[in-house]
DNA sequence: CTGTTAGCGCTTTCAA
DNA sequence: TTGAAAGCGCTAACAG
């Protein structure tokens, strides 16, 4: 009886948010009917005419279910959180795309929490039905606490001994592929810029590199393996160190994309050219890589698929399944050859 | 009386999530006392000993308040959503940083929804206390519906006539600064890669460019102004077109960062060099810019501050203030001169 | 086919 | 200084 009864109900004014009870009143049915109609309860037998009335009333009142009330009642938020250490890293875009592809059709809203997470982890955990914990950096960001909170969670692109299922790609195959590409081009002095040693992706990528080199009976001098964070600055510094070796490497496998960008800058700064003096392969592919100067040869990992599979695992966990296995995406890495790699040149 | 009474309460097992009632029982007080203690109710007069008991019980049971219940009761979620069109654009990292700086101390959790938003906008709106609508692209993503939902919201880096407060930077001053830099270097044939015309940032940046050129009495031939989306591919294509003009421009102001990356590639592909043949200035600064080849001269806009101010406005809106003004961050743009700009060379 | 009812876990008067 | 009680808006038995 608030603003009804006067012909035109001024649809978009909808002052105070309508509750389900208001809709019920307007449609002259019980609230529970409204609930069932709006959620398409398959058990509900209702005559079309009544359903029509309900639907129209809801539309007219611009009714939106109250998420908090629903969550309280059902004990589900229908929201999945994805925690990433850093919004600046372009690879998360591809992972997130895969995540959405799978989560949205399943009825979930996906939201990402950025920042050297862990900070608000507790807060976030309480607001989602499941957590995708992405980003390989920083051991300190151990979500042990979150486990305690009992929130289903899977680690994306990262393996740890936390008893939490993981979704990863075959990092080892990736760097091996990069190394083999360089070897095939005729390189023998190949260096590797690894990830932080506390990141397991770093360890796996290094391993793949070493294996490929061994398989080709190529030496990897100690000074040809350096550690770096996954950003430009660190890739730059690592490369600068690498180029001081003598003889210096004729090719470098960078174990991440941003690091490779830094590496390119360092090579230039040293007065050397890519690929004539130094060949470079980056790890992970993104639009950016194609537009660098020169265009960067990369190993394209199936990041979207990893995102999808991570959601599959998470949904299983959320369903209460206890035997959720780690998944390593089988889709093989793909070498995207661009301008940053070539046969070793004449210069030393 | 569930699992108490047997000496060691096995703290981390905490099977079923503890409710406030359990804590109350364990501390032998009423639930309402627990609520008040845990939220530091200033009105509460309680004897230290009792408070101690409550706190200890909560800790022992590993109690976490139920977010849904609290939200239902208080009608607030303590969560702010930030909607961005695209996680791949590195500038959002800086905006998000500013947003968190302000929102977190105010007690809010910040989560970002990526994707050509609007898709799930309704869903998201119901789950947050306020919405930061970022990203200047795509008119179709009109959040008119969200307004109807009555969710407080502010537009970030974008102005529209929706009656929604906005937080922006001085885009016009930014491109003007870029143009003046090139003019000071001696350039006269300066082109501009604009943003999409339906993005207001694009219009403002173009305007700033034109004004600066006019002020220097420099002509801008029609073919020196091209439109592009804010990504590498589009910047590449736009630049390719620009370089077909004859005489071709000796300098280009790209109105975004990713577009500038594409522009660099296009210049190279045309067999020209930066900055000898073509100078280039990018819009918005990020770590990436410093590591491009050559390092990209950019206009650094106060993105963090824009994020902070956007939150200020949003919080005001959420407080119910109705006179929230648009804010244009006063902090002036800053020219970051790197290697991509130089005096016009000898080549034509 | 439709209505009644009992909470979900919290906050917050109001009363003691 | 503490407790009792009402109810936020919804869902899901259970009854008609």
Q: Is A67 on the interface with B (CB under 8 A)?
A: yes
Q: Is B261 on the interface with A (CB under 8 A)?
A: yes
Q: pLDDT band at residue B138, thresholds of 50, 70 and 90? A: low
Over 70: is that where the pLDDT of B148 sits?
no
Q: pLDDT band at residue B8, thresholds of 50, 70 and 90? A: very low
Averaged confidence pLDDT in chain A:
88
CB contact under 8 A, B66 and A126: yes
Q: A74 beta carbon < 7 A from strand D?
A: yes
Quick one: average pLDDT of A8-25? 66
Q: Mark residues 52-91 of chain B whose C-beta is closer than 7 A to nucleic acid strand C.
A: 63-66, 69-70, 72-74
CB within 8 Å of A149: residues ≥ 6 apart: A122, A125, A126, B64
Helix (H) or strand (E) holding B288: helix B287-290
Find the nucleotide nearest A49 (Cα to C1′): C1
- Give the whole-angstrom CA distance, residue B21 versus residue A198: 42
User: What distance in Å separates residue B240's CA from the closest CA in chain A?
Assistant: 13
Q: Is B260 on the interface with A (CB under 8 A)?
A: no
Quick one: average pLDDT of A228-236? 94
Most confident of A89-93, A319-323, B313-317: B313-317
Quick one: average pLDDT of B76-93? 91
Over 90: is that where the pLDDT of A110 sits?
yes
Q: Is B268 on the interface with A (CB under 8 A)?
A: yes
């000796």: which residue's tokens?
A: B250
Write down the pLDDT at residue B154: 94
Write down the pLDDT at residue B2: 35
Q: pLDDT band at residue B36, thresholds of 50, 70 and 90? A: very high
User: What distance in Å separates residue A261's CA from the closest CA in chain B?
Assistant: 6
CB contact under 8 A, B286 and A127: no
Q: pLDDT band at residue B239, thresholds of 50, 70 and 90? A: very high
B68 → closest Cβ in A65, A77, A265: A77
- Taking CA A62 as the corner, what is the angle to CA A72 and CA A101, rounded to the nearest 5 degrees? 65
Quick one: average pLDDT of B316-336? 94
Q: pLDDT band at residue B34, thresholds of 50, 70 and 90? A: very high
Write down the pLDDT at residue A142: 54
Contact B202, B156 (CB under 8 A): no
Over 60: is that where the pLDDT of B297 sits?
yes
- Give the whole-angstrom CA distance, residue B229 versus residue B17: 49
Is the model more confident about B78 or about B123? Answer: B78
**Minimum Cα–Cα distance from A147: chain B residue:** B12
Q: pLDDT band at residue B9, thresholds of 50, 70 and 90? A: very low
Of A125-139, A296-310, B1-15, the range with the lowest mean pLDDT is B1-15
pTM for the full model? 0.90
Contact B234, B201 (CB under 8 A): no
**Number of C-beta neighbours around residue A107 at 10 A:** 9
Is the model more confident about A203 or about B146? Answer: A203
Write down the pLDDT at residue A161: 72
Over 90: is that where the pLDDT of A120 sits?
no
Q: pLDDT band at residue A148, thresholds of 50, 70 and 90? A: low
Q: In angstroms, how far is CA A188 from the centroid of its own chain? A: 34
Distance A262 CA to D5 C1' (A): 64
């Amino acid at each position: 009886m608030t603003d009804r009864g006067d012909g035109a109900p001024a649809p978009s004014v909808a002052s105070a948010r309508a509750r389900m009870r208001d809709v019920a009143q307007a449609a002259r049915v019980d609230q529970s009917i409204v609930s069932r109609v709006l959620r398409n309860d398959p058990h509900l037998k209702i005559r079309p005419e009544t359903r029509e009335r309900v639907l129209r009333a809801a539309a007219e009142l611009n009714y939106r279910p109250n998420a908090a009330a629903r969550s309280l009642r059902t004990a589900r938020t229908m929201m999945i959180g994805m925690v990433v250490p850093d919004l600046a890293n372009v690879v998360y875009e591809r992972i997130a795309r895969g995540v959405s592809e799978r989560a949205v059709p399943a009825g979930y809203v996906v939201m990402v929490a950025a920042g050297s997470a862990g900070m608000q982890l507790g807060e976030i955990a309480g607001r989602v039905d499941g957590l995708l914990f992405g980003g390989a950096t920083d051991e300190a960001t151990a979500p042990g606490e979150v486990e305690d909170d009992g929130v289903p969670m899977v680690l994306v692109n990262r393996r740890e001994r936390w008893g939490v299922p993981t979704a990863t790609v075959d990092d080892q195959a990736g760097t091996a592929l990069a190394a083999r590409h360089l070897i095939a081009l005729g390189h023998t002095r190949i260096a590797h810029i690894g990830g932080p040693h506390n990141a397991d992706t770093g360890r796996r990528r290094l391993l793949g590199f070493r294996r490929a080199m061994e398989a080709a009976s190529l030496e990897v001098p100690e000074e040809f393996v350096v550690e770096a964070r996954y950003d430009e600055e660190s890739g730059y510094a690592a490369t600068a160190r690498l180029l001081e070796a003598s003889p210096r490497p004729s090719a470098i496998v960078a174990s991440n994309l941003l690091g490779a960008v830094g590496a390119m800058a360092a090579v230039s700064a040293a007065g050397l050219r890519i690929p004539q003096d130094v060949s470079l392969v980056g790890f992970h592919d993104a639009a950016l890589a194609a537009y660098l100067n020169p265009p960067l040869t990369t190993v394209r990992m199936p990041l979207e698929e990893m995102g999808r599979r991570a959601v599959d695992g998470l949904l299983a966990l959320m369903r209460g399944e206890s035997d959720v296995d780690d998944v390593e995406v089988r889709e093989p890495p793909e070498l995207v050859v661009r301008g940053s790699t070539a046969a070793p040149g004449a210069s030393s």
